Each structure stands twice: as C-alpha cells, then as structure tokens.
Amino acid sequence: MSKDREFYLRRLHSLLGIIPVGLFLTQHLIINHFATKGAEAFNGATHFMESLPFLIFLEIFVIYLPLMFHAFYGIYIAFTAKNNPKNFGTLRNYLFILQRFTGIFLVVFIAWHVFETRFQVAIGAKEVNFNMMVDILSNPWMLGFYIVGVISATFHLANGIWSFLVSWGITQSPKSQQVATYVTLAIFLALSVVGVQALLAFV
C-alpha cells in the first residue's frame, strides 16, 4: 500500500470513528438510558428511533458501512501499528495498545449485539423493546459481557477522540494534548456511567 493511500485511509478511518460512528454510539447510549425511567420510556424512545424516515438508508449508509470500514481497517491497523514511546511516552503507549485490544474485542461484541437485536428483528423473531434486553441480560455472564462491551466502546471512542485531535493537527503542543487528555477522560467517564446505568436498569 502506498504511503499516500495509507495516509488518506487512516484519516478516513479516524474521521469515521468520530462522525458518524462516535455520534451514533453516544446517541445509542442516551436512548438506552431511557431504561432507567422504566419500560414505557425505553420502548417509547426505541419506537421513535424506528419510526424515523429513511431508516434503512440511515442504518446502511450512516451506521453499518462506516462502522464496517472503521472496524476492518482498524483490525489492519491493530496488527501492523507500532508503539511510539519517543513521541508520546509510556502512558500513551499503554492507551495505544488498549485502543487496539478494545477495537478487536468490539468487533466481536458489536457483531454479537447486532445478532441478538437487529438480526432477530429482521427475521421476525423478536421486537427491540425493554423485554428483549431483560431476557438478554438475565444471564449474569451476558450482563458482564455487555458491561465490558460498553466500557470498551466508551474508552475506544474517548481515546479515539484524543488521537483524532492529534492526527488532524488540532492539538500539537504538549499543553493542548494534556487538556485533551482531561476532556476525553471526562467523556469516557460520563458515557460509561450512562451506558452501565442503562444496562443495570434492565436487570
């Protein structure tokens, strides 16, 4: 692969991880958080999303295709990337490695989650509602799997935002990168709380 082509593919991979994949994750967690207000609130929120015009178009071109490119090219990056201790130090290299591990795990988690939810709806077996998630999360092992999945997703997004800001030349100085670290840490904690609270609401 030429350096120019790889440069643009990595930029596209980075951008799609924020828009639209990151925005979709945030929206998805917020919708799920309606479960903390009860079954009726959650079902109302999911039914509203399912009633959006051009839903199939949105799911394919705004969610699934960008997500698949980000996932599969991310796997390529995970197995070809090298650490960079000279430029970013030990902590950033640990986060760099964790970013790769969570990315690979998320490919498995998201595929399973889609199978348990959207695929079941597509074949007419189930409906996405409060009871569906109660059934899924009634298994303690599955609850643990989902909690790890949510935290992996929120970390991957938050740390991905930090990398995006650096790779796109937005945060170049050490001070701006330190500020970005605090901001992305806050994003990680906030979204993790929202996501885990939603899961526990189904238990």
- Where is the binding site for heme, in residues? 28, 70, 113, 156
Residues 6+ apart with CB under 8 A from 109: 145, 148, 149, 152, 153
Binding site as annotated, residues = 28, 70, 113, 156
The three-point CA angle 115-121-124 to 5° equals 120
Q: Give per-residue burial for 114-128: e unless 16+ CB within 10 Å, then b.
A: eebbeebeeeeebeb
Q: Roughly what angle, to the nearest 10 degrees, separates helices 140-167 and 174-201?
A: 160
Quick one: DSSP state of residue 51? T
Give the separation between CA 91 and CA 153, rounded to whole angstroms.
19
Residues 6+ apart with CB under 8 A from 7: none
